[in-house]
Structure 1
Amino acid sequence: MTTLPHMIWLRSFEAAARLGSFTSAAQELNLTPAAISQQIRLLEQHLGAPLFTRLPRGVALTDIGHAYAQPIRKSFTDMQEATNGLFARPAKRPLRIRASISFATLILAPRLGAFQKDHPDIDLQVSTSVWTPAAGKEPVDLEIRYGHGDWAERDIRPLGHRFGILVCTPDLARGLDPSDGFDKLAEQAIHIIGSETDWGQMATLLGRPYPHTPPIMKVDSSLMALQVLTTGSGAVIVAEDFARDFLDRGHVICPLPHRLPLSRSFYAVAPDHNNTNPDVQTFCGWLLQSINPDESPDNLP
């Protein structure tokens, strides 16, 4: 009985028989054509039969070579399928999410590690923009938007951020007098573009006239405004959840107890063509529960 040939000889033979060329087999296996030719010659010597006919331009399988190629190819296919079936990790399913840079950095980023741990089969791909959906030209599976929730899509879920608070630098907070504290803060106001009216609304909430003092600067995101405060300058009205980590670390102070009801909020918005995607539903459910941990999942939108 003939002993089994070396695996490398069989691999070279299978590739050459399938591709009809020693050169193509060499390219596929990262070998030289001479190495392929040598390995097939050794296989032929081992079997005692010619497997290829050498032609002036290329090679052709002999009858016995053709008969031998079929079971060899099936054997390699069976080995590959068995290896994939038993040992290969399932391919991750991509889930493309877009959010404003503030929401992505301050809300999503601290929580995404926990989601990945619980859902290793989902390949999260998070992109950011200053304003959504204005910058939303690339297709996504889920978008976190800020607004009134009156978009055309059918699957729109509120995520909270219903209140704004006024925060300032610790040094500025220490020098405030209760009688004119808001006016002093307004003199150091940082306005977030698109939310400039928050200061007037906060004045109304406090029952005070708004001094209409020009802001010391305007920025295009809550994240930037909070970062400016950490350098020791200014006061800003931001969504309460955005400020939480900065407050906990003592980087900013909330000198007034008042919370401003916000007319706009953040929403998870799934495109209509994708609102039945189970991974979108999984992520939305997780995000709602993560942001509102005290609420029962049954009561969430």
Structure 2
Amino acid sequence: MDRLPNPAWLRSFETAARHLNFTTTAKELGLTQTAVSLHIRSLEADLGQKLFTRNARRLELTELGQSYALTVRRALGDIALSTNSLFGPASRQTLTVRAAISTATYWIAAELPDFMARHPDIPVRLVSHIWNDTIAPKDVDVEIRMGYGDWPGVTSDKLTDETLVPVCQSGSPIPNLQTLHGSPLIHILGYEDNWARYFQAHGLPPAERAPLYSVDTSVAALQLVMAGAGCATIVERFARNAIAQGAPIRIAGPAIPFAQSHYLIAAPGTAQPSAAAGLFCAWLRERLALDAAG
């Protein structure tokens, strides 16, 4: 790295450049006046230039000091801005919620404005499982997974029962299940049997046509549906939220039960949930109860 003076010296210099008074600077930084004066002298010695002119009753910045103060102030401001943007203000505890990208996109994100309206003092960071390698389990406050609830090494608490529906582009002519049976089909990797299960539930054999597309998320499947590439089977909750958000898709057939559900996950040895996490989980269950009621 290129030459960089001691950050503590730079902070003292920037504050002193604003106040032009070492006593006031010391009060703002929680230091002694002697410590501030030592920081400034050390910085000047390191740079080989005077930054202040010390008069009997006041300080003045030299021309070099004025130019350097602008640069240092901008740099410290950028660091503060980035710190607050990424980690939040020190006085506020960010709630980190992790979910699969489809769950995050087509369920949790759609509901979050209601949570924020009720709890504006709790910043929420919503992350997907693609960040598993960069976010340690201990840094996740609430985790939501879809599956059978049989993950080893964790405690799972069932949140939902889900249903599955076929979706097609909003303008597609799909008058009945027979037409759907012969339409171009989109498969989601890991759920390749969803179409067969759907058709079986309605007394139809598996589709004979090979899938035109196979994708790894419901998000990608819905994008293909919106583009008119074919039809996909999607968790009904996701489909209805996507439609509510204006996605040009429609549900093309009746729902069937889906074997997988959403669960709240707790790892072994996890500390008691924070107050914010408790409020979030209670709010989520309340929203689900409202959905179930109509």
Partner residue of 1:216? 212
Distance 1:156 1:230, change over 3 A: same
Distance 1:239 1:175, change over 3 A: closer
Alignment equivalent of 1:11, drawn from 11, 17, 24: 24
Is contact 1:247-1:254 (8 Å) kept?
A: no
Partner residue of 2:193? 197
Q: Deviations over 1:151-208 (max 9, x none)?
A: 2456523232511011112343x25455x224213xx110011111111111210112
> Partners in 2 of 1:42 and 1:197 — Cα distance?
83
Residues 1-301 of structure 1 mapped to structure 2, 5 A cutoff: 8=21, 10-11=23-24, 17-19=33-35, 22-25=37-40, 34-35=52-53, 37-38=54-55, 41-42=56-57, 91-129=91-129, 135=132, 138-139=135-136, 140-152=140-152, 155-172=155-172, 174=173, 176=175, 180-185=178-183, 188-248=184-244, 249=246, 251-257=248-254, 259-272=255-268, 273-293=270-290
> Partners in 2 of 1:203 and 1:261 — Cα distance?
13
* Post-superposition offset of 1:295: 6.0
Is contact 1:289-1:295 (8 Å) kept?
A: no
Partner residue of 1:86? none
Is the radius of gyration larger for structure 1 or structure 2? 1
> Partners in 2 of 1:160 and 1:7 — Cα distance?
62
* Post-superposition offset of 1:33: 5.5
* Post-superposition offset of 1:291: 3.1
Is contact 2:166-2:231 (8 Å) kept?
A: yes
Q: Deviations over 1:57-109 (max 9, x none)?
A: xxxxxxxxxxxxxxxxxxxxxxxxxxxxxxxx981112222111111111111
Is contact 2:174-2:180 (8 Å) kept?
A: no
TM-score scaled by structure 2? 0.67
Partner residue of 2:7? none
2:141 partner amino acid: D
Give the length in aligned residue pairs: 231
* Post-superposition offset of 1:121: 2.9
> Partners in 2 of 1:108 and 1:210 — Cα distance?
33
* Post-superposition offset of 1:244: 0.4
Is contact 1:97-1:142 (8 Å) kept?
A: yes
* Post-superposition offset of 1:129: 3.2
> Partners in 1 of 2:187 and 2:199 — Cα distance?
14
Give unpaired runs (5+ residues) of structure 2: 1-18, 44-49, 59-88
SS at 1:166 equivalent: strand
Is contact 1:167-1:254 (8 Å) kept?
A: yes
* Post-superposition offset of 1:240: 0.2
> Partners in 2 of 1:109 and 1:267 — Cα distance?
17
SS at 1:237 equivalent: strand
* Post-superposition offset of 1:294: 5.0
Is contact 2:110-2:241 (8 Å) kept?
A: no
Q: Deviations over 1:40-65 (max 9, x none)?
A: x428xxxxxxxxxxxxxxxxxxxxxx
Taking every aligned residue pair, what percent have the same amino acid on both sides? 25
2:251 partner amino acid: C
TM-score scaled by structure 1? 0.66
> Partners in 2 of 1:198 and 1:115 — Cα distance?
33
> Partners in 2 of 1:27 and 1:101 — Cα distance?
51
Distance 1:94 1:253, change over 3 A: closer
Distance 1:170 1:266, change over 3 A: same
